Amino acid sequence: MKLNKVDYNAKSIFDIDINFFVSLNIKAIISDLDNTLDQFNVLRPSSRVVKLKDELQQNQIQLMIVSNNHEKRVKQYAEVLNVKYLANARKPFKKRLLKFLESNGLKAEEVILIGDQLLTDGKLARNAKIKIVLTEPISKKEQFTTHFNRLIDRPLRKRYRKNGQLGIKCPVRKDQDKLF
């Protein structure tokens, strides 16, 4: 039997039924920023991100951002959203993420990663032994550096999908309009 490359998949973070996280007893969602929450050149969180964060909070789930992007970009975004963050995360390497979790009193089994790239987010999850939801990039626009990763990510994802290695599809939320 081939091992799954990721545990779960979803179209986007906004498509996932909140009860899914509740049922996993998740304390925090560790989300990627660019193309998972917003497009890379969107400097302030869009309203659906703010609404999602509030909704998660009402369910005692913290939203946190872990990004490979630089401090200035991530800080600006995360501070407006009022969430904890780790910039320059060096995904897929696990060292900085694990330190970040530890400093926030979180264990690996209490969190779930969400990200749009197999090479960074997906590999990080494997390296750190943390559950992950792989999403589709929310926009085709991406930074130059990401563009190269994407050239590998796309065919890889296609192959994993074909082999049924993208894990379980997350239950879709029925009230998506609530976020818009």
What residues line the site for Mg ion (CB under 5 A)?
32, 34-35, 116
Question: What's the token pair of residue 172?
Answer: 């879709």
Query: Smallest gap, in angstroms, from Cβ of residue 103 to Mg ion?
Result: 23
Smallest gap from Cβ 40 to Mg ion, in A, equals 8
Are the C-beta atoms of residues 11 and 17 closer than 8 Å to each other? no
Residue whose CB is less far from Mg ion, 33 or 61: 33
**Cβ distance to Mg ion smaller for residue 101 or 138:** 138
Total residues belonging to the chain: 180
C-alpha to C-alpha distance for 9 and 15, rounded to whole angstroms: 10
Joined together, the tokens standing for residue 173 give 């939320």
- In terms of CB distance, is 7 or 116 closer to Mg ion? 116
* Alpha-carbon span 11 to 138, nearest angstrom: 8
Least distance CB 60 / Mg ion (angstroms): 26
Measured distance CA(108)–CA(87) in Å, rounded = 19
Nearest to 71 by CA among 87, 56, 95, 60: 87
Would you say 7 or 153 has its CB closer to Mg ion?
153
For residues 61 and 89, which CB has a smaller minimum distance to Mg ion in the complex? 89
Encoding tokens for residue 132? Answer: 């992950």
- Give the shortest CB-34-to-Mg ion separation in angstroms: 4
Q: Report, in Å, the least distance between residue 19 CB and Mg ion.
A: 25
Q: How far is CA 86 from CA 76, 97, 106, in A?
A: 12, 8, 14
